[in-house]
Structure formats: C-alpha cells, structure tokens
C-alpha cells in the first residue's frame, strides 16, 4: 500500500430529520446568519420557513440572500457578499443543491477578503484565509458532494469560464444531510445530480492522487449508485433509495476532496462556462461514454472492477473485456435513468467544438486522467458524443 494522507474537518450529521438541528448547528458558530438559497419558489417556501424558525428558536438573527442561479456567477456571489457585509453576518448557511452551497462558500470568502471571489481561484497566489466566514451546509440534492468538500465552483460570464476556489477554509464546519429534503426532487434533477455522484466516485477511483482510503469510499459510492439511483428516479418518494443516494453523494464528495476529478469534469466545467444553460450532470452524461471508450485500456483493472459492479456476469470475462465493456454499461445506465443525451440535445453547435476542446484544457483535470488527452483527442471525443 502506498503512503497517503486524508483530511476531512466537516462534522457530518446524516439521516432523516436532521434539518431540525440547523438552528443549533448555526448558533455554535455565529449569531448573525446569512441564509443563501435559490429564490423562494412555492415548492421551497415550507423548507425555508422551517430553517428560519429553527434559527429564530436559537436566537440567531437572519438575513436571506435568495439570488442563487444554476452555474452561479461572479455577479451573484458579489451580490451575496455585499448583503453579508451590510448585515454584518458572522456565519453563512447554504441550503440547497450544489449551486447554493458553492455560492455560500464563495460569499463566505468574498465578504471577508479584498476583491472578488474570482481573485481567489485555486491557481492564484492570493488564497482565502482564516478570515473566511464559517459555513454551514444543508444539502437538498444528492449529487455535488459540495457539503463535504473544499471546492466552490463559480462562472465568470465575461470570460465565459467556469473555475473553482479550492482551499481548506471552504470546508463547511457542519453539514446536515437529511434525505427527507430530497424526496420532492423531480426525476430529471435526481438523474442528473445522481450521475454526478457516479462521476465523482469513478474519477476519484482512477485518479493518481487517490489512495486506499479514497478507493474504499469511491467504490462503495459506485456500488450504491448502480443499486439505488434507478429506484430514486423511478419513485422519488422512496426514502430508502433517497437515503442511499445521499450517502453515496457524501462518500463520493469525501473521495474527491482528497483525490480529485479527471477529464470528464474538465470538459464538463468548460461546457458549463461556455453554455450556462447546460446542467453539470447533463454535461457529464453527454461525454462519459465517449471518454470511457477513449481511455479504458489505460487503467484496465479499475475500469474492469467498475464494470463488474454494474454487471456481475462480467466476472468470468478477462480484465480487458470487462474494462472495454464499461462504456456500453454506462450508456445503458444513462438510458435507464433517462439521461442519455448528446451535444445536439444540449444545443451545443458542432462548429464550436474546437473552442470547447481548447477550453477543456484550461483546468488541469485532464492531466490526471489515465490517458492524457490532447486538444485534438478532446475534439474527436466531442464529435462522437451522441446518445447510444
């Protein structure tokens, strides 16, 4: 076994009913809380009311920033940070899916540091410090893993780029994972976020920065996704399936926090930056089968192990045969969960694929893939992204 280190400072409170503890969790870190969410659509109003009541019961003063959008932008983060400053918030509470949690993290940085969140991207010399406001997370989807990572993904519309803050100060202090909050997520959202769990788990599993610890977490997450995501998509009220997917999401998040992601996420991030209407899980679903075909022979043992998790009949086949089969298995799985999409479905013009390929090389994720792709490779991969 190779040497490794593993770091995870977030307190995880997992299980049905955990939302009742949100007021107490926030009060441990501050008395003036900025709540960060999407707009208060009717379907979210009861949840937001429960959160606000719990904070009030603990004597926590509250202001509510409800300007979160999918693929949150630098402008959205700055608006939230201004409200945090005006309110003199001393703790930030993100409630929602990955967009809300990432916005909360970026707000926690920008509200206490000069400049904007974009000045603190992972590759900058300037990085967040201990001045970052403490973050509490309540997740309402099972997909992004943001509730247990040090990552906040932000889009800069002017640069048409999607990038990330990556720093230990962005780990939430406490995360409440209550599967009851996911019961009303519609099938498409369930499928898209659930496939992101698969991607996080698989990419950390094949990542050179992984370890025996992250492999253990990732492999279990893959197993759960194969067993539970179709049920969660088919019957959103299935609390057992929702609980399993919430756990898989948490495991995969714990894995990527200490390993990382690879080529699919590099392309998916570029796609989100250039085409903000594309959901992250949709972008991953679009490119995954083609990337697996491109790279199965670069890590056959791990590709084969993942394939056999989803299809036990491959246990009698050789390693190469099982590894090669993973692409078709994932194509079939995407059909099962209603997420078989191509570039045309996502309204990405074919004459812009060269630009997308170049943008996919901006982040370093592609360098960690078992088979490192060139811009020409990525262009060929993209051209082949059609539903199976």
- Degrees (nearest 5) of the Cα angle 328, 334, 337? 145
What CATH number did the domain enclosing 191 receive? 1.20.1090.10
Same structural domain, 169 and 193: no
Strands 151-156 and 11-14: unpaired
Cα–Cα distance for residue pair 360/263, rounded to 1 Å: 8
Which of 151, 182, 213 is a domain's end point?
Answer: 182
* Same domain assignment for residues 152 and 193: no
The residue range of the domain holding 334 is 187-383
pLDDT at 266: 97
Query: Which distant-in-sequence residues (6+ apart) come within 8 Å of 334 by Cβ?
Result: 195, 285, 288, 289, 340, 341, 388
The CATH number covering residue 74 comes to 3.40.50.1970
Rounded to 5 degrees, what are φ and ψ at 77?
-60, -45
The rounded distance, in Å, linking the Cα atoms of 197 and 205 is 12
Which H helix or E strand runs over 133? none
Specify whether 137 is located in the same domain as 228.
no
Tokens linked to 353: 């694929």
* Domain-terminating residue out of 166, 182, 198: 182
What does the DSSP assignment read for 79-100?
Answer: HHHHHHHHHT-SEEEEEESHHH
Maximum distance among all Cα pairs of the chain, rounded to whole angstroms: 64
Distance CA 194, CA 381 (A): 23
Same domain for 217 and 363, yes or no, is yes
| Domain shared by 127 and 211, yes or no | no
- Write phi, then psi, for 44 (nearest 5 degrees): -100, -10
Q: What is the pLDDT of residue 388?
A: 61
333 and 252 in one domain?
Answer: yes
Residue 1 lies in a domain: no
2, part of any domain: no
Q: Are residues 133 and 240 in the same domain?
A: no
Residues 262 and 208 sit within 8 Å (Cβ to Cβ): no
Contact 60, 27 (CB under 8 A): yes
Whether residues 20 and 157 share a domain: the answer is yes
For residue 1, the model assigns a pLDDT of 77
Per-residue burial over 208-220, b if 16 or more Cβ lie within 10 Å, else e, is eebbebbbebbbb
In a domain, 55, yes or no: yes
Residues 327, 362 within the same domain: yes
Same domain, 161 and 178: yes
Alpha-carbon dihedral sign for residues 157, 158, 163, 169 = negative
Distance CA 43, CA 22 (A): 20
* CA 44 vs CA 78, 100, 175: distances in Å: 23, 13, 19
pLDDT at position 111, please? 98
Q: Could you tell me if 208 and 349 lie in one domain?
A: yes
pLDDT tens string for the chain (388 positions)? 789 999 999 999 999 999 999 999 999 999 999 999 999 999 999 999 999 999 999 999 999 999 999 999 999 999 999 999 999 999 999 999 999 999 999 999 999 999 999 999 999 999 999 999 999 999 999 999 999 999 999 999 999 999 999 999 999 999 999 999 999 999 999 999 999 999 999 999 999 999 999 999 999 999 999 999 999 999 999 999 999 999 999 999 999 999 999 999 999 999 999 999 999 999 999 999 999 999 999 999 999 999 999 999 998 879 999 999 999 999 999 999 999 999 999 999 999 999 999 999 999 999 999 999 999 999 999 999 987 6
* Residue 108: closest CA among 174, 170, 166: 170
pTM exceeds 0.85, yes or no:
yes
CA 326 – CA 310 distance, rounded (Å): 9
Give residue for tokens 């009303």. Answer: 184
Position of tokens 């949690």? 101
CB-based contact 196:256 (threshold 8 Å): no
Could you give the number of structural domains in the chain?
2
Last residue in a domain, options 131, 164, 182: 182
What is the pLDDT, as a whole number, of residue 217? 98
Specify whether the backbone of 207 is left (phi greater than 0), alpha (psi in -120 to 50) or beta: beta
Q: Which residue has the tokens 């967040």?
A: 128
269 lies in some domain: yes
**Both 123 and 235 in a single domain?**
no
């Amino acid at each position: 076994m190779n040497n490794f280190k593993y770091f995870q400072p977030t307190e995880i409170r997992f299980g049905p009913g955990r939302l009742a503890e949100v007021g107490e969790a926030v009060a441990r870190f501050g008395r003036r809380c900025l709540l960060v969410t999407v707009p208060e659509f009717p379907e979210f109003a009861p949840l937001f009311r429960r959160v606000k009541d719990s904070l009030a019961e603990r004597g926590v003063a509250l202001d509510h920033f409800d300007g979160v959008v999918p693929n949150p932008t630098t402008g959205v983060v700055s608006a939230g940070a201004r409200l945090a400053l005006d309110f003199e918030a001393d703790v930030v509470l993100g409630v929602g899916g990955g967009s809300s949690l990432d916005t909360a993290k970026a707000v926690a940085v920008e509200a206490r540091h000069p400049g904007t969140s974009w000045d603190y991207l992972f590759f900058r010399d300037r990085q967040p410090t201990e001045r970052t406001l403490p973050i509490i997370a309540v997740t309402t989807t099972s997909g992004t893993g943001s509730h247990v990572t040090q990552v906040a993904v932000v889009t800069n519309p002017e640069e048409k780029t999607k990038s990330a803050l990556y720093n230990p100060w962005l780990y939430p202090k406490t995360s409440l994972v209550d599967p009851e909050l996911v019961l009303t997520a519609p099938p498409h959202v369930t499928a898209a976020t659930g496939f992101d769990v698969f991607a996080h788990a698989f990419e950390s599993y094949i990542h050179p920065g992984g370890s025996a610890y992250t492999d253990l977490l990732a492999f279990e997450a893959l197993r759960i996704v194969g067993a539970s995501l179709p049920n969660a998509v088919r019957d959103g009220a299935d609390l057992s399936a929702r609980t399993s997917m919430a756990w898989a999401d948490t495991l995969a998040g714990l894995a990527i926090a200490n390993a990382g992601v690879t080529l699919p996420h590099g392309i998916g991030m570029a796609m989100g930056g250039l085409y903000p209407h594309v959901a992250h899980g949709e972008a991953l679903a679009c490119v995954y089968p083609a990337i697996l075909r491109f790279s199965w022979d670069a890590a056959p043992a791990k590709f084969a192990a993942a394939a056999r998790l989803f299809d036990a009949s491959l246990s009698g086949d050789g390693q190469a045969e099982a590894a090669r089969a993973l692409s078709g298995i994932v194509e079939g799985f995407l059909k099962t969960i209603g997420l078989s999409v191509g570039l045309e479905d996502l309204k990405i013009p074919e004459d812009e694929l060269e630009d997308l390929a170049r943008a996919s090389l901006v982040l370093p994720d592609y360098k960690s893939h078992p088979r490192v792709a060139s811009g020409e490779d990525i262009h060929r991969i993209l051209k082949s992204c059609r539903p199976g």
